[in-house]
Every structure is written in structure tokens, then in C-alpha cells.
Amino acid sequence: MYYAKVVVVILLMCMLGYVQSKPHLTPKNNTDTIADSAMVVSAHPLASAVGVAILKKGGNAIDAAIAIQFALAVVYPEAGNIGGGGFMVYRAADGSSNTLDFRETAPLAATKNMYLDQLGNVIADRSTKGHWAAGIPGTVAGAVAAHQKYGKLPWADLVQPAINLAQQGFVVSPTLAQTLNAEQTDFEQLNTRPCPLAKKDLWHPLDTLKQVQLAATLVAIRDNQQNGFYAGWVADSLIAEMQRGGGLITHTDLANYAPVWRNPIVGNYKKLRFISMPPPSSGGIALAQLCQVLEKYPLAKWGFHSPKTIHHIVEAERRIYADRATHLGDPAFWQVPVGTLLNTAYLQKRMKDFDAQHATPSAKIVAGNIAQSHAIGHEETTHLSVVDKWGNAVAVTTTLNGAYGAKVVVGGAGFLLNNQMDDFSAKPGVPNLYGLVGNEANAIAPNKRMLSSMTPTIVEQNGKLRMVLGTPGGSTIITSVLQVLLNVEEFGMTMQEAVDAPRFHHQWLPDLVFIEKDALDTPTIKQLQQMGHTIKERPPIGRVDAILVRKDGKLAGGADKRGEDTALGY
């Protein structure tokens, strides 16, 4: 598999005409990918190859990130997208930073109780499958906004590689074949037109997936930028799909969509300073809270995955996720008390009932009392990290929400719709797809952005770039980013070791410590259980793609072994 991946990457880069030397490719043996000048890490080898090609052509980190996003929409359909949305964190070589919110929004016709039946109960699958689950996509508008502000190469150069991949097709991997086959029933039942991802017989590894309709949409985006998606025939196709499937998105919704540049959340962990996403992402605030709580403990002394280390992290997580459920939402609709949530005295108070020897039942934990909060009016996300030769850095996390989003491909236009409406709180206290609960702060409202856990993050040390990281994983995103950061800074791991290390997760409700298979040994599990923790094994947690600037100035890429993620540099 490794050698096949190398051949595919080199062939693609030869097609694009940018190969100057054999690219550095991530081996799956806990060894960093090292580069002298630039690095990209993404969820698919072909997308990473596109990013490196753009960098070698003279593009900057923003250019590469945009090209990778469009390529992922083709080669990684379960999460890569133009029908979803996400967040971008940018740090320029001079140390200035910015964040871009291109999160999906609720249609104008959305209502607070749209997913409840006459008895006030949540209707099964209504917010996760089909046309009603879709929010207004933001990915294309976000890419255009990023390029207009920071891009270097012509726009068409960034979209063309994805067009080539869609038109010519690419080889289906065993992983992609498996996920496509798992969704065939939904593809057949939920689509109003023949679905290009559906197949009469099963998908097999080495099949070729061509997406002619998606290629046509990408051509429209290449030639007309934002208007190629939110207006014209592509928009008409999307609205026709909504009408056939009983969805809510209208031409007015598409015309009104706009991404938002926001001031970043800035936090610290000992000597590190990190830049992350503000609301409507909960990621930056939660990460900053966790880091502030944990930095006073001697985690390195206690050891990686020692019972004491895990206990302290879990107890901090259960309190921070309780805050998330109550206090965080779209800042245009809810006064998010950022200052209070990050206040040292407040966080000390949150940990006042912490017991170093015993777990605190989540039933006894509530959100912190912050009076000023009030109203003002399957884990399929993907992350990419880029550092260019000038030292500019980009962390981008995008999502369809669940695997293949709403499972609906827009007829004639070939792109998948998101099921992001499930990230709203359909009913206070009722968990969503990822088991997260919410309240009024994250209630559904027209034009509102749903709360997210996405945590694209850039880390500095002594004023210099140190790390770029992020991950998919729904509610586990925040805790995965935290653990990778700690793995490097506290436990001395290389970037690849930090990314590959087994992970655990707690999110307040349900009151469970989720662990990956073989993440903890039997004595550690028994000791945690004796402390009152309930342990539950689950599938892999997150797929972190990260870059570390080493002390010698070289770039070390870490691509998560849990997927087909690939680090490439030169």
C-alpha cells in the first residue's frame, strides 16, 4: 500500500508538471516526514500532492490550502466538500494572524422546533439524512474570500487540479470502497436523481471513480468564483434538488451567504502561545480553558497515559464540555461570555470541587454560572495543515458533518449536501449525532451558524511558528488536538509519534471515558475504574494532521495512521 501510494503521488505530480524531485511521503512507522522548505498534510495522498504542486509553482500556504480543499471534494467525498463549510486559522510569516468562519448557516425557513414531532420529541434521522438536514454551504465562499485577501496565484490554477481529478477519475482505495459500500442503501433511498456515488454492484479497490457532474460544477467555480456556485446553473440545480426533496434552501439563502473574518482566540500553555477559532466554533475557547487548567499540573512527571494524568485531563474535560453545552453558540445570536470563560478565577472556581483521587459524576457537574449569557435576537470532517517556504501557516478544518453528509448528491451538479443542521440543539438536553447536548445558545434560528467543535490551531513559541494542527472527529476534535499538543510538549514525542499515539476522550455527557482499542493497559484501566471512571472502548478517535517546526528549522509532518492521511514536503 505504501509503495502504491508513492507511485500514485509521483504520477499525479508528473501530470501536473511540478515534480522536481521525489516528494517526501509519510511512512506509517512513527517516523516524521521531514522537509526543508514547505510542508502539507491532508487526509488523502492525491490532495497532498496537489498542495505541494501549488507550493512548488510559487503559491503560498493559502493557495495550497484552497487547492487541497477542492481536491478533497473529489478524492475524499465522505468529508471533503464544496457542499459543506468550515474554519480557517492563518498566521503570516510576520506573526500577524486572522481566522475565517465559513460555517454553514440555517435557511431562512428554518424554525426552532423543525425537527420535533407534535409531542415535542425529536424525529429520528430528520436532522441527519436527506434534504432537511442541509445548511447553506460555505466552503466555496470561504475559499474565494481567503484567496481575495491572501492568495498569490491565479484562482483558476487552484481549482484546475480538482477538475482534472474529477474528469479523469482516480483509483478507489480499499478504505474508500468500504465507506462507499456502507452508504449504498442511503444513496439509493435519499437521492432524487441517479447518484454518481451509487453502484449496482459493490465498489472494489482499484475501481476508477469519475465524477463528470462535479467536474462541471468545479469548472463553473473556476470561471466565475463565488457566482459559479451561489448563482447560475449550479445554484439552480441546488434549488431544484431542494424542491424535489422537500428541502428548505432557496436562491435567497444562497445569495445572502457570506463568510466572516473573526478575531482569533489566543491562549497559552506554559511557554506556548496558540491561535485558534472563536465562536461559533467551541474549539478555541475549550482548548484555551483546558490548557489553562492543566498547565499547573506536572503531567510530564506523572507520565503519558498514567492514571493520574488521565484522571486530571478527564476531570477538566467534563467541566469544560458542560460549559460548552450552555454558554457557546453563534455570537450573532448569543452573547458568548468569552472573557469570563477564559478568566483564571472562573476556571479555578470550576475546578474547586475537583477530587484528585475520585471521579466527579457528570450528574453533579453543571455549567458555570455566568449571568450575562442571553439571547441577542459519524465524524466526517477533514483537516489540512500547510506551511510554505516563506513561513506562512494555515490550518483548515472543513466538514459535511456525518459521513457523506446528508447522503444527497445535487442532481446535475455532482456535489454532496451537508447534514450540518444536526449540530444545532434540536431540543435542549437531547444529544446530537456525536452525543453532544446543547441548550438555548445553540437553538435553531434562520441565518444562524450552528455550534462546532472544529479546532484548527497554530502554535507559537518565543514569537516563532511552532506547530500547525487540527483534526476531524466531531466532539472528539478538541480533546484530540489537546492530546497531540501535550504529547509533543510534555511527553517529548516527535510529530508523527504524537499524532499516532492512542487517545482517550470525555465530553461530560455521556459520563464515559472513551478509549481507543489498546490505548490503555489493564492495570491503568482498573485503577481508573477504582477512582470511579467508567471506561468504554470505541473506534479510532480523530485523524490529526500536523506540522512541527523543529529546533533545527526543518519541518516535520505528522499524518495520522488512522486514515490515508499523507504528509508531503520539499
Q: Which residues are catalytic?
A: 381
Find out whether 397 and 383 touch, Cβ atoms under 8 Å: yes
Backbone angles phi, psi at 343, to 5 degrees: -75, 135
Residue 335, burial from CB neighbour count under 10 angstroms (0-12, 13-18, 19+): middle
DSSP bridge pairs for 99: 89, 262
Q: Is 495 helix (H, G, I), strand (E, B) or coil?
A: helix
Which residues make Cβ contacts (< 8 Å) with residue 451, sequence separation at least 6?
Answer: 279, 280, 281, 282, 324, 328, 329, 330, 423, 424, 425, 438, 441, 442
Which residues make Cβ contacts (< 8 Å) with residue 118, sequence separation at least 6?
Answer: none
Record the cell numbers describing residue 443, joined without a space.
437553538
Find out whether 409 and 195 touch, Cβ atoms under 8 Å: yes
Q: Which residue has the cell 473556476?
A: 222
**Rounded to an integer, what is the distance from CA 469 to the centroid of its chain?**
10
Q: Which residue has the cell 478524492?
A: 75
**Rounded to an integer, what is the distance from CA 291 to the centroid of its chain?**
20
d(CA 354, CA 357): 9
Is the peptide bond prior to 428 cis by the omega test (within 30 degrees of 0)?
Answer: no
Find out whether 568 and 40 touch, Cβ atoms under 8 Å: yes
Record the cell numbers describing residue 459, joined without a space.
502554535
Q: Is 463 helix (H, G, I), strand (E, B) or coil?
A: coil
Is the peptide bond prior to 280 cis by the omega test (within 30 degrees of 0)?
Answer: yes
Q: Which amino acid is at 538?
A: R
Which residues make Cβ contacts (< 8 Å) with residue 301, sequence separation at least 6?
Answer: none
CB atoms within 10 A of CB 3: 8
Strands 513-516 and 535-538: parallel
d(CA 548, CA 550): 6
Find out whether 508 and 435 touch, Cβ atoms under 8 Å: no
Q: Which residue has the cell 480543499?
A: 69
Tell me the angle at which helices 212-224 and 61-75 cross, rounded to the nearest 10 degrees.
Answer: 160
